[in-house]
């Protein structure tokens, strides 16, 4: 949400993971791999140079979408967005700096027309090379609710310019 960002500052990343309203099945066993501050945007799922500060995850069972494009218009302030509880609804492994692995509880199922909002606060540490663009990305792996043999994967990336 902040770009560019100065070394020593925090930057906020907002992810909206959405199962389309017209989908023929939901997803479960959701696993998210976040890479924060990658020097190259071509390799995802590895540690970056930014450091994790905090994570909040919301489940929205009635997200607001654009009726023509399907673009999600709502966010964590939507009255139907519920803050999930770490250790109950999901676990987050932050043991590798620059990388976060999130495993959603089996009870967190995204049916069609359901969204997860993931909000990260991340530190751009001292020593990060400046006047460069870094990429923060996620890989979303899940399993179908109708046929668990159906596996799904999606990814997205966002560039951030780091200034002195």
Per-residue pLDDT tens for 18-62? Answer: 999 999 999 999 999 999 999 988 889 999 999 999 999 999 999
pLDDT mean over 69-92: 96
Q: How far is it, in rounded angstroms, from Cα 131 to Cα 16?
A: 28
Q: How far is it, in rounded angstroms, from Cα 109 to Cα 153?
A: 15
Q: How far is it, in rounded angstroms, from Cα 81 to Cα 64?
A: 11
- pLDDT band, residue 7 (cuts 50/70/90): very high
| Beta-carbon-side half-sphere exposure of residue 11 (alpha carbons within 13 Å) | 25
- pLDDT band, residue 1 (cuts 50/70/90): low
Dihedral (Cα; 7, 12, 13, 17), 10-degree rounding? 170
Taking alpha carbons only, the member of 77, 160, 79, 76 closest to residue 123 is 160
pTM across the whole model: 0.93
pLDDT at 164: 93
CA separation, residue 11 to residues 14, 25, 83, 138, 152 (Å)? 10, 34, 20, 16, 29
pLDDT at 41: 85
Per-residue pLDDT tens for 95-152? Answer: 999 999 999 999 999 999 999 999 999 999 999 999 999 999 999 999 999 998 999 9
Residue 2 has pLDDT above 80, yes or no: no
């Amino acid at each position: 949400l902040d770009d560019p960002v100065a070394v020593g500052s925090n930057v906020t990343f907002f992810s909206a993971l959405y199962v389309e309203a017209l989908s023929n099945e939901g997803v479960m066993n959701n696993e998210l791999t976040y890479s924060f501050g990658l020097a190259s945007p071509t390799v995802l799922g590895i540690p970056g140079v930014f450091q994790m500060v905090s994570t909040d995850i919301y489940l929205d069972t009635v997200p607001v979408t654009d009726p023509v494009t399907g673009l999600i218009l709502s966010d964590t302030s939507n009255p139907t967005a519920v803050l999930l509880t770490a250790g109950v609804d999901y676990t987050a492994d932050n043991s590798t700096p620059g990388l976060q692995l999130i495993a959603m509880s089996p009870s967190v199922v995204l049916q069609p027309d359901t969204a997860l909002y993931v909000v990260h606060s991340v530190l751009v540490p001292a020593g990060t090379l400046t006047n460069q663009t870094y990429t923060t990305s996620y890989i979303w792996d899940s399993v179908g609710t109708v046929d668990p043999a159906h596996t799904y994967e999606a990814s997205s990336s966002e560039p951030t310019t780091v200034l002195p």
